[in-house]
Structure 1
Amino acid sequence: MGSSDNEWRRGRGYHHGNLRQVLLDAAGKLIEQHGPLGFSLAEAARLAGVSPAAPYRHFRDRDALLSEVARTGFERFAAQLETAWDNGRPTPLQAIENLGRAYLNFARNEPAAYAVMFQTVGENGKELQDMPAADHAFNVLQKATAELCKALPAAERPPSRLVSLHIWALAHGVATLLSESRGERRKVPVSPEEVLESGMLIYLKGLGVLGEGPAGGAGPA
């Protein structure tokens, strides 16, 4: 490993009681460099400055470490989405735009966690553990879309779960382009936030959720 790895290890050396977090931090650095499946538990231990046997106090294998990176990532992700949604304030439309920006910010600021959060299988096809925190994150989005769809007559409202999946797919697509195609992204004359916002507005307008006013606000409930 390079000198930057050595500097990182010296600055975050192992102290009694924080081994688990030090290993998570080391995994994050390795994921950014090599991808979720591009390192071993022994390499995480080496970067953390501990013995090869030390990680087994907390993690049975590398996939268990990845699962914990994903779980804690989803917890932070869900909390940031909740804060951005803010119970639909100041308006449901503005709040869901804030939620979309929070989604992109998380992918930008925590690329290692984001990469693992949507990695459903580990080495040799082993399924990573279920993530209740992922359900929490999705429930924030479903709550937001249900509130937006109240603008439609009850008989015309699409299933909020389906709408949530559509918006999630749109946000994930933009976030993935943001993190994986940096060279291509520079050729696009708009920001990822503008791409996501315009895509969401087009989609919501197609559903009939948005009014026809100049501000594009939600129609009457």
Structure 2
Amino acid sequence: MAKQGYHHGNLRQALVEATLALIAEKGPQGFTMAEAAKRAEVSTAAPYRHFSGREALIAEAARQGFEIFVTRMEAAFDEGRPNPLAAFMATGRAYLAFARSNAGHYVAMFESGLSVNTTPELAEVAGRAQGVLTHAAAALSAHLPSEHRPPAAMFAAHVWALSHGVVELFTRGAPGARSSYPPEDLLESGICIYLRGLGLIPPDNEP
């Protein structure tokens, strides 16, 4: 029998939680609205009171994931403390930690094929997530001469791509895609190579 509490303000979130579990188990295309309803212990018609279909359910799961992601990234950066480089590295570690602890959210956000413009709410919070990294990149590169300073948004996009690659290849554990190095070490060394190329940190043989 359907849980009565879900009909008193909790149905929407119960469906999102069911969707997150199904995404983690089967992938974003591996379940139906009926399965989400069954997992939430409601009738097959109940989800349509709140969501037009599976894509809308996944979009809400992604939106909630980005809210969590932004909070963790902002806490990691902590306004550049103790210094912009340390804060920037901390955001990278926070990215990996989020991918591990919120697998369903992560897939909904980055692997579902949905555009961040699917809903205005999703677009807004995804933009805030990008803004955290862009702010961190701007703070780190602020002392470079303007002619040698990459656009902060491009800088952030490069590091986001590197972080995403480490997650996909070495953190989510696809068979045969293991590394003998911890994902955190891979990401940090990759970021360091990138930052050396920009002149933001000295080579290893320099003080």
Task: Tell me whether the two structures share a fold, i.e. TM-score over 0.5.
Answer: yes
Asked whether the equivalents of residues 73 and 113 of structure 1 are also in contact (C-alpha less than 8 Å), the reply is yes
Residue 116 in structure 1 maps to residue 108 in structure 2: yes
1:88 pairs, out of 55, 76, 80, with 80
What are the residue-to-residue correspondences of 1:1-221 with 2, within 5 Å? 14=6, 16-119=8-111, 121=113, 128-129=118-119, 131-177=123-169, 178-181=171-174, 183-185=176-178, 188-212=179-203
**1:14 partner SS:** helix
> Root-mean-square deviation (CA), in Å?
2.4
TM-score, normalization by structure 1: 0.84
Shift of 1:183: 4.7
Question: Would the alpha carbon gap of residues 214 and 84 (structure 1) be closer, same or farther in structure 2, given more than 3 Å must change?
Answer: farther
* Residue 116 of structure 1: how far off its partner (Å): 1.1
- Counterparts of 2:131 and 2:206 in 1: how far apart (Å)? 28
Distance 1:100 1:22, change over 3 A: same
2:6 aligned counterpart, secondary structure? coil
**Once superposed, which parts of structure 1, at least 4 consecutive aligned residues long, lie more than 3 Å away?**
119-122, 127-130, 211-216
**Alpha-carbon distance, 1:46 to partner:** 0.5
State the distance in 2 between where 1:121 and 1:202 align: 31
Cα pair 2:69 2:98 within 8 Å, conserved: yes
Normalised by the length of structure 2, the TM-score is 0.89
Deviation at 1:155, TM superposition (A): 2.4
Return closer, same or farther for 1:63/1:79 CA change in 2, 3 Å cut-off.
same
Mapped to 2, the partners of 1:213 and 1:30 lie a distance apart of: 46
User: Contact (CA 8 Å) 2:28, 2:112: kept in 1 or not?
Assistant: no
Residues 21-78 of structure 1 deviation map (CA, whole Å, 9 limit, x = unaligned): 1111100111111100111111100011001111111101110000000111111101
- 1:136 & 1:84 partners in 2: Cα distance? 15
* Structure 1 residues 215 and 28: alpha-carbon distance in aligned structure 2, compared to 1, 3 A threshold: farther
Tell whether the 8 Å contact from 1:121 to 1:128 is kept in structure 2 after alignment.
no
> Identity of paired residues, percent?
47
Q: CA deviation at 1:100?
A: 0.4
2:183 maps to a residue whose letter is P
Q: Which runs of 5+ in 1 are unaligned?
A: 1-8, 217-221
Question: Using the alignment, how far apart are the partners of 2:153 and 2:145 within structure 1?
Answer: 17
